Structure 1
């Protein structure tokens, strides 16, 4: 199965003092998470009970559909199920009542279904490294894993305690408020040479290019109406010339717009900048695209028709993994773990310097 690996250097994982800048967590690090989370997950009745979202949290639910930890290496895989409308005119769903680890997926939904997409994350704690494993029909929502783990610690872990005034605090010892908070901070691995090359060419940049890919999401009665999509339809309809407005071609054009699954927009604008501004744009782009944004930003220099896309600096590896596609079945966490482990040396080559036994620098998000 074809996959795309994206790399993240984990800078903080655990509970840290709110004021001090300690590098080591007070508690709640990898080992604590693996032990506490796996024990908690075993006690959950079904998929529907694995959401870690608190009563005050907004947004869609995220569930854990599978989890695997390898004791010999310490590495682990978390498979999340992200509640969302679906893409490419297909609705994928898991039953709310199915057991954790059950990979059966449906292409329709009912009242007991959770419509969404899976996402796969492979952690290598000894290297402070996280891999996002992009597979066919999986979500590229990179924030989901940060949101899920953070919400688990904040809402469901044994570290959550309440004082006599009813205020919440976090501690690994009863009755002692350690003035700390959970933090999961990572950096995305990027090719710094490509960015430096663009910064050096800042004075020669003449155009900024923005490419936006918008996907039409399938939904059902339980989801909000796609108001944004309808506004786009209206805007496209206004593009039809007056002389076509009443004929059959106009109707065919409108029908094609309404039935399209995806739309792509490319906007090109004159642009001048210096090295300071281009650095600011690059840093902002890195932060915003942590969530797998569909927006692409690029630049053209004077006298060149080639677009330099910022996304090209993000280190990714496309690789065939030994994962068989089985109808109506998602790859399990164990299968993903084995497939990554078998090719781990090859997968880590883009970010691992074998001679110095050190990781390449990652850009802070």
Structure 2
């Protein structure tokens, strides 16, 4: 059996937005993927499944997309192109059908006819408004691969909400295609942004996590006042050539204490954290809580990084590549276990 790491995400932006405004038109992932399925079926070769080829990043192809009509789930296999000497890679022949599952091994001769790369597996569960990457040893799971593919499809291969396309010229005289949507108050752009799913959960095995903790860590940022300078400069305020009181840089203080919490104590700490530290990423850089699991010199695990991960067992070994029929069958048999942490939606939050 092969074990895959399942990491969950949520969209925090998905739809059409007006710049410098609160106006937006939300879009469901079903609206997008149902169109992707139709578009994908019309492709004859795997080389035709990239919505756009962007010279600034490696091309991503759509190997397969499937929908489970019973659950409403979607499975997507993307193929991230890599160069042959990037390590262990596999290949798809450019001219092969989208239904052809033949894989070229890296030790085979392929030439320019082969798209070298690795697969990326994603599982979307619209009923819970979440999705997951599924990581095996010889796959990629970069979140940007998925969000870029969705954006490229909506911009360049869909007719959702009647996009307007114009040819424009940049400052260097190069022509480019500009796509936008007309809104009631101005032009709209499409956004697709997701973050890892974080959750304070009764289902989490906090006893197991707590048993590994050796230290708690608290981070605080304090602002130092320049009182000494201020004492003399205040007498000369407004006069030329007198330097203004300079603000001293903030200082970050880390306090580390020995800790052997129980699962109950860790749960109470996480709940208190959720009340006090539900802040932006910028705020969390100044003030945060975390723990260490391998002594004082080990890496700190900040509680805002306490994310849901689980595992899926698939037939085969670490080098296997999976058809969606196998995925859906396996997910069905393990679905309750895989989604156990989402039974109480009120405990969830976006990173």
* TM-score > 0.5, shorter chain as reference: yes
Q: Choose the corresponding residue for 2:196, options 184, 188, 197.
A: 188
CA separation of 1:316 and 1:85: change in aligned 2, threshold 3 A: farther
Q: Is 1:330 matched with 2:321? A: yes
More strand as a share of residues = 2
Q: Is 1:110 matched with 2:103? A: no
TM-score by structure 1 length? 0.62
CA separation of 1:7 and 1:326: change in aligned 2, threshold 3 A: closer
Offset at 1:92?
A: 1.1
Q: Is 1:153 matched with 2:161? A: no
Q: Is 1:339 matched with 2:342? A: no
In 2, Cα distance between equivalents of 1:180 and 1:41: 26
Secondary structure (helix, strand or coil) at the match of 1:339 reads: helix
Give 1:228-239 correspondences, 5 Å limit.
none
Q: Is 1:201 matched with 2:199? A: no
CA RMSD of aligned residues (A): 4.1
Offset at 1:20?
A: 3.9
Secondary structure (helix, strand or coil) at the match of 1:201 reads: strand
Larger Rg: 2
For structure 2, list consecutive stretches of 5 or more residues without a partner in the other structure.
170-176, 207-212, 221-250, 256-276
1:37-75 alpha-carbon deviations (Å, 9 max, x no partner): 1111111111111112255x5211000001101223221
In 2, Cα distance between equivalents of 1:132 and 1:99: 25
In 1, Cα distance between equivalents of 2:328 and 2:103: 20
In 1, Cα distance between equivalents of 2:253 and 2:339: 36
Say how many residue pairs are matched.
271
CA separation of 1:72 and 1:283: change in aligned 2, threshold 3 A: same
In 2, Cα distance between equivalents of 1:97 and 1:74: 31
Offset at 1:34?
A: 2.3
Cross-structure match for 2:122: 121
Instruction: Point out which structure has higher relative CO (alpha carbons under 8 A, 6+ apart).
Output: 1
Tell me if the contact between 2:164 and 2:181 (Cα under 8 Å) persists in the aligned partners. yes
Cross-structure match for 1:11: 12
Offset at 1:332?
A: 1.5
Q: Is 1:31 matched with 2:30? A: yes
Cross-structure match for 2:70: 72
For structure 1, list consecutive stretches of 5 or more residues without a partner in the other structure.
204-270, 288-297
In 1, Cα distance between equivalents of 2:307 and 2:339: 14
Cross-structure match for 1:206: none
CA separation of 1:199 and 1:185: change in aligned 2, threshold 3 A: farther
Give 1:284-299 correspondences, 5 Å limit.
none
In 2, Cα distance between equivalents of 1:315 and 1:120: 17
In 1, Cα distance between equivalents of 2:301 and 2:105: 35
Report which stretch shifted further, 312-321 or 43-52.
312-321
